[in-house]
């Protein structure tokens, strides 16, 4: 027969329920009575010795009492938790009565909590949200260790408690999150909900608490393998035999019911029938953002929360809040970087899930050590940010770190001023009367419109460089797909990847190809275009203000863009027209330096004067062709005013008006070339011109 232990927690009715909940949580972990009392301060109705404290909870029969329901003269004993100085079998030197404890139970709870905080816990508890208005602390201690499981528990502590509350209310929950965090999430959610899990394992019908403690060692229990029909049969049997207080855990629901947007597969149809056959069964399912789940399956779940990235602040001890950068790095890791700023870390990791965040930190520490740094010789803090950016780029082949600066773009002072103001807002340069105004003032995106070749994409890259952000340039047509629903899925994945790489700039070149005005026609092409615009609107309206991410569209057909996207709250339209005289001179100077062409200021002014109506790309072509003539032809062709005019005139020829068989642009230039002096040799024949 299991020994009985009577406990009386300090803190009233809520403490009684908390003690009961935590006892069930720790029982599943195989923890002992000491671990429970270190987490939840409580007194006992009989003295406790060290042997009893070391007994596993599963081997004890716990009875929890409310102190207000006990007689005033009932003796209470404090468990010996403060140290290891007591002799075996020792309890307390004297008993204290309920009457003496009641007036000071809050103080006792605080005292015992302080003692408990000095002792390492076997695993972090599910952390509750702080009361409204609690300030986040950036100066608290770093943890000694942070495992992947710890990281998920800390970052998603609020979400775990919220989801658990839905389960306690009898509501089925479908959690949309990255696949990497599922194995860490579901055991904690189930424990916090105080429910017995039924876990579908294809190799065994046994579904006990053992699955919770070994969740990190389990493979994809619900996999798209050939045994899915057998798994569905087992799922039906398990749902039929469920009892009160149990929850069916489906960690890989998306794999079992795959095929959402192209129509239901046979297995997905069967899964839907099984789930709806038992509508009163409590379910906890998980699906990855990138795997479409049929709406009919998703709608079986009353609550569908979504977990993306990490929060800026996380729960800490005693209802306080702590900044993410303090809670997710150990003291040793933070010591590797001089003047480590815990508050500044967030904007560089906001889009990563907690597991990926820990991977990024480990990579950064490895890079610091590889360069000879340690806690005694810390690396500059910039190395941490640069290493995290490099890690994100390596895990996402589509994003890159741009090298284009605003100074690399000549002219366009008004465009630079508008973009610079937004960059300063995003970077926190301006002091605002209310910080909440910042998210309202920052535009969600820019729509750069103007003739081809005016540098719209260059501006996008320069913005990313100023923000220290990764950038991805997506051509509009590459998003489209012939299969129904695939274009929208491509857009979702592109936006999701941008969030993971935050701070990031996502550029849609030829934006009109995917954002054209919606029509009421019933043909397939119109429906597909309408669906893409709707998906873009959904993504734009779902932005997290604390995730630094900017969307830039470029187009030379502004009149084609759907008017819903032109709302100021979504895209701020900026005209990037043909450069004026001063801008052409600045652009010419930049390209002359780029192609190593020696040009006098008078020549730059002359080129700006004769290139009216030309764009920046054409001016770049002038110096590219000049470089070819100067370095890739024999004899070389000097870059003087005559050569300059010949190059400009050749670029003004509309390529669509050239006849078949006409030689290349350089051939035309060579045929018009004027010698630099009477003694200069004639240019080589067109056939020998360098391309």
Residue 345: the pLDDT is 86
| pLDDT score at 663 | 43
Q: What is the CA radius of gyration of the chain?
A: 33
Q: 667 or 472: whose pLDDT is higher? A: 472
Sheet arrangement for strand 246-250: 173-176, 283-287, 246-250, 196-199
CA distance 204 to 207: 8
What is the DSSP code (8-state) at residue 32? Answer: B
Could you confirm whether domain 313-394 is CATH 1.10.8? yes
Q: Which CATH number is 157-298 given? A: 3.40.50
User: Tell me, what DSSP letter sits at residue 353?
Assistant: -
User: 44 in the Ramachandran plot: left (φ > 0), alpha (ψ -120 to 50) or beta?
Assistant: beta
Strands 4-9 and 61-64: parallel
Per-residue pLDDT, 219: 41
Instruction: Tell me the angle at which helices 601-610 and 641-651 cross, rounded to the nearest 10 degrees.
Output: 30
Q: Judge contact between 187 and 25, C-beta under 8 A.
A: no
Is the pLDDT reported for residue 79 higher than 90? no
How many helices and strands in the chain, by DSSP H and E?
29, 17
User: Would you state the structure tokens that stand for residue 274, as one six-digit string?
Assistant: 């099984």
**Mean pLDDT, rounded, for 319-339:** 88
Phi, psi torsion values for 181, nearest 5 degrees: -95, -5
296 or 92, which is more confident? 296
What pLDDT does residue 657 have?
55
Indicate the CATH number for domain 406-575. 3.40.50.300
Q: Which range has the worst mean pLDDT, 43-47, 150-154, 499-503?
A: 499-503
Confidence of residue 451 (pLDDT cuts 50, 70, 90): very high
Three-state SS at 243: coil
Higher pLDDT, 317 or 680: 317
Question: For the residues 219-246, what does the mean pLDDT come to?
Answer: 75
Beta strands 571-575; 445-449: pairing state: parallel
Q: Could you count the other beta carbons within 10 Å of the beta carbon of residue 565?
A: 20
414-427 average pLDDT score: 86
Angle separating helix axes 601-610 and 581-594, nearest 10 degrees: 120
pLDDT digits (tens, 9 = 90+) for 116-132: 333 333 333 333 333 33
Instruction: Yes or no: say if 30 and 209 are a contact pair by the CB < 8 Å rule.
Output: no
What tens digit of pLDDT does each residue of 380-390 get?
988 998 898 88
The predicted pLDDT at position 151 comes to: 92
pLDDT digits (tens, 9 = 90+) for 29-76: 677 888 888 777 788 888 888 888 888 888 888 888 887 777 777 888
Query: 360-369 b/e with 16+ CB inside 10 Å = b?
Result: bbebbbebbe
Q: What is the pLDDT of residues 597-620, one digit of tens each?
A: 888 999 999 999 999 999 999 999
Sheet holding 61-64, edge to edge: 42-44, 4-9, 61-64
Three-state DSSP at 417 gives helix
Give the mean model confidence (pLDDT) for residues 651-661.
61
Please, where are the H alpha helices in 125-203? 148-155, 157-168, 179-193
Average pLDDT for residues 410-423, to the nearest whole number? 89
Q: How far apart are CA 12 and CA 66, in angstroms?
A: 7
- Residue 673's pLDDT band, with cuts at 50, 70 and 90, is very low
pLDDT for 456 beyond 60: yes
Q: Before 503, cis peptide (omega within 30)?
A: yes
Check whether 447 has a pLDDT greater than 90.
yes
CA distances from 345 to 313, 355, 358 (A): 11, 16, 13
**Is pLDDT of 107 > 50?**
no
Cα gap 91→79, rounded to integer Å: 7
Sorting pLDDT into bands at 50, 70 and 90, what band is 109? very low
Q: Per DSSP, what are the bridge partners of residue 56?
A: 32
Average confidence (pLDDT) over 92-98: 48
Nearest to 621 by CA among 595, 639, 599, 596: 595
Q: What is d(CA 365, CA 336) in angstroms, rounded to the nearest whole number?
A: 7
Identify whether 635 is preceded by a cis peptide bond (ω within 30 of 0).
yes
Identify the H or E element spanning 512.
none
**Dihedral class, residue 428 (left if φ above 0, else alpha if ψ from -120 to 50, else beta):** left
Enumerate residues 6+ apart whose C-beta is below 8 A from 609: 581
pTM: 0.60
Q: Does residue 25 have a pLDDT over 90? A: no
CA distance 165 to 192: 8
Q: What is the pLDDT of residues 164-176, one digit of tens each?
A: 999 999 999 999 9
Among candidate residues 133, 200, 123, the one with its CA nearest the CA of residue 160: 123
Q: For the chain, what is the mean pLDDT?
A: 78
Query: In which band, very low, low, confident or very high, does the pLDDT at 493 lie, cut at 50, 70 and 90?
Result: confident
Q: What is the DSSP string of 204-224?
A: BS--STHHHHTGGG---SS-S
Distance, in Å, from the CA atom of 295 to the CA atom of 246, rounded to the nearest integer, reads 25
Contact 535, 499 (CB under 8 A): no
- Bigger pLDDT: 268 vs 663: 268
The Cα 158–Cα 161 span in angstroms is 5
Least confident of 73-82, 380-389, 625-634: 73-82
The answer on pLDDT for 394 being more than 60 is yes
Least confident of 163-172, 526-535, 589-598: 526-535
Phi, psi of 194 (to 5 degrees): 55, 55
| 46 DSSP 8-state letter | S
CA distance 607 to 39: 77
Summarize the confidence of residues 642-653 as an average pLDDT: 87
**Distance (Å, whole) CA 428 – CA 343:** 13
**pLDDT above 90 covers what percent of the chain?**
29
Neighbours of 327 (CB within 10 A): 26
Spatial contact of 228 and 252, defined as CB atoms under 8 Å apart: no
Contact 561, 517 (CB under 8 A): yes
Q: What is the mean pLDDT of residues 585-598?
A: 91
**CB proximity list for 504: less than 8 A, separation 6 or greater:** 351, 399, 464, 469, 470, 471, 472, 498, 548, 549, 550
- Between CA 301 and CA 298 the distance in angstroms is 6
| Per-residue pLDDT tens digits for 344-380 | 888 888 888 999 999 999 999 999 999 999 888 999 9
Decide which of 656 and 412 is more confident. 412
Which tokens belong to 149?
A: 């499981």
- pLDDT score recorded for residue 258: 64
* Residue 321: φ, ψ to 5°: -120, 150
**Minimum mean pLDDT range among 180-184, 210-214, 278-282:** 210-214
Count of other CB atoms within 10 angstroms of residue 517: 16
Higher-scoring residue by pLDDT: 347, 214? 347
């Amino acid at each position: 027969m299991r020994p009985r232990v009577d406990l009386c927690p300090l803190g009233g009715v809520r403490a009684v329920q908390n003690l009961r909940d935590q006892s069930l949580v720790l029982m599943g972990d195989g923890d002992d009575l000491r671990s429970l009392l270190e987490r939840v301060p409580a007194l006992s109705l009989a003295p406790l010795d060290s042997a009893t404290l070391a007994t596993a909870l599963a081997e004890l029969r716990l009875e929890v009492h409310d102190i207000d329901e006990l007689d005033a003269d009932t003796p209470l004993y404090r468990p010996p938790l403060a140290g290891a100085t007591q002799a075996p079998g020792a309890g307390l030197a004297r008993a204290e009565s309920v009457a003496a404890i009641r007036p000071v139970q809050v103080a006792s709870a605080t005292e015992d909590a302080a003692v408990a905080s000095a002792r390492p816990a076997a695993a972090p508890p599910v952390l509750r949200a702080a009361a409204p208005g609690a300030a986040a602390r950036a100066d608290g201690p770093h943890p000694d260790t942070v495992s992947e499981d710890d990281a998920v528990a800390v970052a998603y502590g609020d979400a775990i408690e919220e989801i658990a509350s839905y389960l306690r209310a009898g509501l089925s929950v479908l959690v949309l999150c990255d696949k990497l965090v599922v194995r860490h999430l579901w055991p904690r959610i189930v424990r916090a909900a105080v429910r017995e899990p039924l876990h579908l394992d294809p190799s065994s019908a046994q579904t006990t608490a053992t699955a919770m403690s070994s969740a990190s060692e389990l493979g994809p229990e619900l996999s798209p393998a050939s045994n899915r029909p057998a798994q569905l049969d087992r799922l039906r049997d398990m749902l039929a035999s469920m009892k009160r207080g149990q929850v069916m855990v489906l960690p890989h629901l998306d794999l079992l019911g795959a095929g959402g947007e192209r129509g239901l597969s046979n297995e997905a149809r069967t899964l839907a029938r099984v789930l709806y056959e038992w509508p009163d069964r409590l379910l906890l399912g998980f699906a990855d953002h990138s795997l479409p789940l049929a709406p009919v399956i998703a709608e079986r779940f009353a609550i569908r929360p979504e977990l993306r990235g990490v929060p800026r602040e996380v729960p800490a001890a005693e209802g306080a809040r702590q900044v993410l950068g303090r809670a997710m790095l150990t003291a040793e890791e933070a010591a590797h970087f001089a003047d480590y700023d815990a508050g500044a870390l967030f904007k560089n990791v906001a889009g990563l899930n907690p597991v990926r965040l820990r991977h990024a930190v480990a990579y950064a520490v490895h890079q610091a050590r590889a360069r000879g740094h340690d806690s005694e010789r810390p690396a500059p803090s910039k190395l941490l940010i640069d290493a995290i950016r490099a890690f994100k780029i390596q895990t996402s082949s589509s994003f890159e770190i741009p090298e284009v600066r605003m100074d690399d773009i000549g002219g366009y002072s008004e465009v630079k001023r508008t973009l610079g103001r937004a960059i300063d807002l995003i970077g926190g340069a301006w002091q605002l009367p209310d910080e909440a105004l910042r998210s309202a003032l920052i535009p969600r995106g820019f729509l750069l419109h103007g003739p081809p070749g005016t540098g719209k994409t260059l501006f996008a890259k320069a913005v990313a460089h100023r923000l220290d952000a990764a950038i991805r340039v997506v051509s509009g047509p590459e998003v489209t797909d012939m299969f129904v629903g695939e274009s929208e899925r491509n857009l979702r994945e592109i936006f999701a990847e941008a969030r993971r790489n935050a701070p990031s700039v996502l550029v849609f070149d030829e934006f009109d190809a995917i954002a054209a005005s919606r029509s009421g026609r019933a043909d397939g092409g119109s429906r597909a275009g309408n669906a893409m615009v709707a998906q873009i609107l959904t993504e734009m309206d779902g932005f997290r203000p604390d995730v630094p991410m900017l969307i830039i569209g470029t187009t030379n057909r502004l009149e084609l863009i759907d008017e819903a996207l032109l709302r100021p709250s979504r895209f701020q339209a900026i005209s990037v027209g043909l450069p004026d005289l001063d801008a052409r001179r600045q652009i010419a100077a930049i390209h002359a330096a780029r192609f190593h062409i020696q040009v006098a200021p008078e020549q730059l002014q002359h080129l700006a004067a004769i290139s009216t109506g030309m764009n920046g790309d054409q001016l770049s072509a002038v110096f590219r062709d000049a470089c070819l003539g100067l370095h890739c032809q024999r004899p070389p062709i000097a870059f003087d005013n005559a050569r300059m005019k010949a190059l400009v005139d050749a670029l003004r020829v509309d390529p669509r008006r050239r006849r078949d068989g006409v030689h290349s642009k350089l051939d035309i230039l060579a045929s018009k070339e004027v010698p630099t002096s009477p003694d200069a040799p004639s240019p080589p024949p067109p056939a020998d011109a360098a391309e």
